[in-house]
Amino acid sequence: MKGKIKLLPGTPDDANRDYLPEKIKGSDIVVNENGNNSRPYPDRLVEKREVVFGDEEDVWYEYVPETYDPSKKTPLVVSFHGGLMTGWGQCIYTSWAYVADREGFIVVFPNGHKNRFWGTERDPNRPFPKGMKIGGVPIPEVPDKVEDIYDVKFALELVKLMQKRYNIDEGRIYMQGMSNGDGMTSTIARNYGNILAGAAGSGGLATGGVLRYPDGRIKNRGGHLPYFISMPEHNGWVLDGPDRDETSTVLGLIDYWKEINVCNDLPEIKIKGEDNYAFYKGEKADFVYHEVKNRDHGQTLDDAEQVWDYVFSGVRREPDGSISYTEPVTPRKGDEYAISLAEGYKKAWLNGKVVDLSGAPFIYKKLKYHGANGGEIVRGEYLCAPISFIAEAIGAECLVSDGGYTAELVLADGRRAQFARGSIGCLLDNKIHSMLCEAIFRDGELYLPIEWVCRYLFDLQCSSCRGVIYITDHYNELSSYFAELIKTLLT
């Protein structure tokens, strides 16, 4: 039986501009960082200070739900904070404690060993300048060998300690991290992933030098692993200059986990609100890419819940190293009805498949000639698609006449919509309606603003980004890296 989640009220500190200040610890103060609301400090979060290995004291925070039963095997989640943060900060910055109350697992939030940073594997092609600082705090230097990095050894030993202290299900140990903590999770997953049943990261970007050798061969000692990547649209990764091609880095990271887990090329796609998902099915393990529209560097409050509900809740590591699956809390299913097209691409996404187009969609700029002075203003930009594809996508019959200069769509419900070259009008059951822009004749057929057709005739929801449009039957906000991912599917 699942426990109940209850949102606790907190005292807002809207004047605060510090990054999760120490006065929050043990209080009911809530703050807003980059649009991500924190939660009040939970009563059951316990600070631990012990020597885990060697002779240095380490600090971590344990959250054990009230429903914990020592006689039952219990999953364990290790969640790593971002740079300059703390373990308790990661707890109040996420929904892990809430979900632990609901699902009955244990969460541990360790502190980075030095300067509130994690020592992670470094990209040899992008070395940090010696003495580099963030927020005035030096980034710790690390050994070249991953197995010699203190924080890696600490994390692995902390898992063993938690297994001694609690009745942990050895087949259900998971890791997740944000930003610098994402780098920590990625380091362990790529090198010691065989001890985990799943891993997830938010806002961090493992770059090419830690993922592949110079000849393109993949670097990995941990093997296949169910993985969940969350990426804010405006991540603005802080450890590189403005010339960094973050889009190719994101796509490269997606390709890395697809290759490790032997995933299908075509994912199931789901966009609900600002959440963009690509669910990849893997021969060895599954992989999820999640992107959040209009979010800055960090993680959303519900990120932890999504990681658990979509992946961690339904995977375990078997003794032979294989991954077994049960139904997760939320099934990894794409939108049943979805259309996506990209400017200049002669293929389209239609209900989970890639289909050919008779011609490439193009962006049409609608001009408004302004006033007596004859100036012009662009009043809208619309993606125009071949009417033959539009008919296929909406389940209509297309009747063409006048050498293709006019065409009529006979809709499934019996309505008839007629269009003509150069006319901004749509004749719908003998009544004229203005479209967003006129019908354009190109390559032997009419092109229509697909956004208008889908919205006006069917009340569908459309969003666009980087020359890509996504259309489905519910609210959706297409995000930027995700738009580039869709383009790769249409190549």
Exposure on the CB side of residue 352, measured as CA atoms within 13 A: 11
Neighbours of 296 (CB within 10 A): 15
Q: Are 118 and 18 in contact (CB under 8 A)?
A: no
In whole angstroms, give the CA distance from residue 144 to residue 148: 8
Report the length, in residues, of the chain.
491
Residue 37's pLDDT is: 77
H-assigned helices in 166-236: 180-192, 208-211
Q: Tell me: pLDDT of 241 over 60.
A: no
CATH code: domain 11-325 is: 3.40.50.1820
In whole angstroms, give the CA distance from residue 477 to residue 293: 7
Instruction: For residues 397-416, give the mean pLDDT.
Output: 97
Q: Annotate 467-486 with three-state secondary structure.
A: CEEEEECCCECCCHHHHHHH
Q: Are 363 and 383 in contact (CB under 8 A)?
A: yes
Those residues with Cβ within 8 angstroms of residue 66's Cβ, 6 or more apart along the chain or in another chain: 3, 44, 101
Say what the pTM is: 0.94
Q: Which of 48-57, 217-226, 308-317 is the least confident region?
A: 48-57
Q: Are 262 and 284 in contact (CB under 8 A)?
A: yes
- Residue-wise pLDDT for 282-295, tens only, equals 999 999 999 999 99
Domain boundaries defined on the chain? 11-325, 338-473
Q: Which of 62-71, 156-165, 237-246 is the least confident region?
A: 237-246
Report which secondary-structure segment, H or E, holds 279: strand 275-280
Residue 15's pLDDT is: 76
In whole angstroms, give the CA distance from residue 418 to residue 395: 16
The architecture CATH gives domain 338-473: 2-Layer Sandwich (3.30)
Q: Which of 11-15, 72-76, 366-370, 445-449 is the least confident region?
A: 366-370
| Confidence class for position 116, pLDDT limits 50, 70, 90 | confident
Exposure on the CB side of residue 226, measured as CA atoms within 13 A: 30
What mean pLDDT is reported for the chain?
92
Instruction: For residues 411-429, give the mean pLDDT.
Output: 97
Q: Tell me: pLDDT of 371 over 70.
A: no
Return the residue matching tokens 């939660």: 39
Residue 412's pLDDT is: 96
- Residue-wise pLDDT for 302-318, tens only, equals 999 999 999 999 999 99
In whole angstroms, give the CA distance from residue 36 to residue 287: 25
| CA neighbor of 337 nearest in space, from 383, 271, 277 | 271
Residue 189's pLDDT is: 97
Return the residue matching tokens 């060895």: 284
In whole angstroms, give the CA distance from residue 30 to residue 20: 9
Those residues with Cβ within 8 angstroms of residue 120's Cβ, 6 or more apart along the chain or in another chain: 142, 149, 151, 180, 183, 184, 186, 187
**Percent of the chain topping pLDDT 70:** 95
Return the residue matching tokens 């980075």: 112
Exposure on the CB side of residue 276, measured as CA atoms within 13 A: 23
| Confidence class for position 366, pLDDT limits 50, 70, 90 | confident
| Confidence class for position 135, pLDDT limits 50, 70, 90 | confident
